Structure 1
Amino acid sequence: MHLTKSISATKISSFLSNLNCYGISTKDVIKNADVNPLILSSPDNRLSSLETQKIINSAVRLTKDNNLGLHQGEHLSKGFSNILGYVLMNCSTLNECWTKYCIYEKIIDSTSISDFKIMDNYAVLSNVTINNELEDNRHFSEFKISGMLSYIKLLSNEALKLHEVHFSHSKPNNTSEYKRIFQCKVLFEKSTNALIFDSDQLNISVIEPNKKLLLLFEKNAQEILEGFDNNNNNNNNNNTYSNMVTEILFEELRKGNLPSIENVAKKLLLSIRSLQLYLQKEDTSYIKLLKETRKSMAKKYLSDINISLDEITYVLGFSEPSAFHRAFKSWTGITPAQFRKSVLNH
């Protein structure tokens, strides 16, 4: 299974916008980065993580701004000029916007995973960079988080009142710009990059939503996403999300690991919410697939007399043999010992 990690030209163009205030141009940055000079010539172009890394580092060198990611996100003045931006602009509320963003994020960026959840009456809008070349680039992370805040204001004409902001990178020597931009407590070396605020603000309305346009743009977004998935899966018709999840479950269980839905979603470059929606469309769920995978593996292992019940219990992630015994009986109507006996008698 191979999913290409790339970023749309429109996202990188937004990072490079307004560089004239530093006395440099986008062309200067691209030339200094030593990448294809036509790389941003079309909004349909996709950049590799290495190309993105080179461009961001080039921009930091030329501007000599050690907080460039923060500043470029803060001064984001327009949305992404592609189908995802059109989807978000026609959502009704910020809640709906972020739900759709998590589903269609790969259209603009498959190097990271965004998600949101409610915890203790706070909304947590999070982003995790999963690409090795970009995960330690704090300018990339800071652009996404400060840009997220700016984009919310563009969509709703209202500024979020933040409770906390989290970054996964280490704390810089000078944090004054973080305090100025976010006006709240900023914490570093956290598990994700995130905006945290009162969950009531998810009900903030988008300025001019249009449900008919939303349906149209979302249909187009789904087609684009399906096209990405088909290409990434080498046009293998067996690569439904159900099959891909099952494949991961088999791989992890064979190692003695019991993967969570969060772990599986991360391997597929999806948010948990997106994976759940895809599986729902295929009339299944993570819990159902985990159960079927364990059941299939249990039957296979029980057919081999050389594998003990204790070993099977461990590999399938059960806490003790009695837990495996109960689960297997609920799946098949008979105990593991009875199943093994019936197989060996044939």
Structure 2
Amino acid sequence: MHLTKSISATKISSFLSNLNCYGISTKDVIKNANVNPLILSSPDNRLSGLEAQKIINSAVRLTKDNNLGLHQGEHLSKGFSNILGYVLMNCSTLNECWTKYCIYEKIIDSTSISDFKIMDNYAVLSNVTIDNELEDNRHFSEFKISGMLSYIKLLSNEALKLHEVHFSHSKPNNTSEYKRIFQCEVLFEKSTNALIFDSEQLNISVIEPNKKLLLLFEKNAQEILGGFDNNNTYSNMVTEILFDELRKGNLPSIENVAKKLLLSIRSLQLYLQKEDTSYIKLLKETRKSMAKKYLSDINISLDEITYVLGFSEMSAFHRAFKSWTGITPAQFRKSVQND
């Protein structure tokens, strides 16, 4: 059971753009990283988190720039040269842009989860890295956050006035570059990496949007997403784990499930949220499905079903099943036998 997290060659190439100002080339970085020299040869290539980590760390070593992620994000000079970029360029406002970005982000990067919401009149554009190899790489996080700011200016020709910027990593000794780039308070060791600003700025218009092109590019983006393995979702994997563990008489906690998926609890919760579900909902549906299956077999006693599904006593199972179906386990079993 494994969900492949990957990042497009296009996104890593944008991290490596303009390295000539440091006196090095992309080829130098790739060679130093000890990865396949053809790894960035096609924009359709996908890199694992480990490969991206090696390349990013190699670039930091060769440039000797301890703020390389911040600087590379700050100096982005063009948008995504792929379908996601074409979708964003044809949205009407920044509000529409980031709504679409969160939907189609997986096309360029499934190592992260981005979210977009309004809280107390502030817009929060957040991003959490969920790939094990990249989640502690501050250069990757800083590139994404400073890059978001650059993309917003590219899309709208206007600079955001930020309220706060959050990073999940610890505070570096020198924060002068953060203050220069973001021009606001920068906080560290937060739950997500995020840009926070007055929500009214979401109404900023995108330069020359085209609704017809947006519909065309969105259709293309939806087809690309459909090409991903739809069965390989976190919801399906969590359900599979729950079925397997409950069959053994174990009632796994979300912590146990997250460990099996090599994720933190927070990362798993975020992924399930993106799939419009939660651990509690999946556990309920799995127990309900198994209960119906076992009740249909008269050779399995109610005591055995109660035990297998992880209920402490028969009355607890009775209450839960009635809340799920509106009838008691005994009534359900009788109705099945009468069919």
Pick the TM interval, shorter chain: 0.7 to 0.9
Bigger mean CA offset, 132-141 vs 103-112: 103-112
Using the TM superposition, give the Cα deviation of residue 329 of structure 1 relative to its aligned residue in structure 2, in angstroms.
Answer: 2.2
Using the TM superposition, give the Cα deviation of residue 33 of structure 1 relative to its aligned residue in structure 2, in angstroms.
Answer: 1.5
Rounded to whole Å, the distance in 1 between the matches of 2:96 and 2:176 is 33
Bigger mean CA offset, 116-125 vs 83-92: 116-125
Using the TM superposition, give the Cα deviation of residue 30 of structure 1 relative to its aligned residue in structure 2, in angstroms.
Answer: 1.6
Using the TM superposition, give the Cα deviation of residue 333 of structure 1 relative to its aligned residue in structure 2, in angstroms.
Answer: 3.1
Which sections of structure 2, spanning at least 5 residues, go unmatched? Answer: none
Rounded to whole Å, the distance in 2 between the matches of 1:105 and 1:21 is 30
Using the TM superposition, give the Cα deviation of residue 81 of structure 1 relative to its aligned residue in structure 2, in angstroms.
Answer: 0.7
Change (3 A) 1:155 1:169: same
TM-score relative to the length of structure 2: 0.80
Bigger mean CA offset, 260-269 vs 76-85: 260-269
User: Is the 8 Å Cα contact of residues 165 and 186 (structure 1) preserved in structure 2?
Assistant: yes
Change (3 A) 1:263 1:23: farther
Bigger mean CA offset, 92-101 vs 332-341: 332-341
Identity of aligned residues (%): 97
Q: Deviations over 1:116-160 (max 9, x none)?
A: 122222221111111111111110010001001110111111111
Change (3 A) 1:285 1:186: closer
Rounded to whole Å, the distance in 1 between the matches of 2:296 and 2:133 is 45
User: Is the 8 Å Cα contact of residues 105 and 114 (structure 1) preserved in structure 2?
Assistant: yes
Q: Deviations over 1:305-341 (max 9, x none)?
A: 9999999889979999878655532433322465578
Bigger mean CA offset, 64-73 vs 309-318: 309-318
Bigger mean CA offset, 210-219 vs 317-326: 317-326
Rounded to whole Å, the distance in 1 between the matches of 2:91 and 2:312 is 45
Using the TM superposition, give the Cα deviation of residue 207 of structure 1 relative to its aligned residue in structure 2, in angstroms.
Answer: 0.9
User: Is the 8 Å Cα contact of residues 167 and 193 (structure 1) preserved in structure 2?
Assistant: yes
Bigger mean CA offset, 307-316 vs 147-156: 307-316
User: Is the 8 Å Cα contact of residues 113 and 266 (structure 1) preserved in structure 2?
Assistant: no
Rounded to whole Å, the distance in 1 between the matches of 2:189 and 2:263 is 23
| Equivalent pairs, count | 339
User: Is the 8 Å Cα contact of residues 113 and 270 (structure 1) preserved in structure 2?
Assistant: no
Rounded to whole Å, the distance in 2 between the matches of 1:108 and 1:264 is 27
1:186 corresponding residue in structure 2: 186
Change (3 A) 1:20 1:209: same
2:240 corresponding residue in structure 1: 247
Q: Deviations over 1:64-99 (max 9, x none)?
A: 110000010011111111111111111111121112
Rounded to whole Å, the distance in 1 between the matches of 2:259 and 2:140 is 19
Instruction: Provide the secondary structure at the position in 2 that maps to 1:177.
Output: helix
2:326 corresponding residue in structure 1: 333
Rounded to whole Å, the distance in 1 between the matches of 2:137 and 2:189 is 13
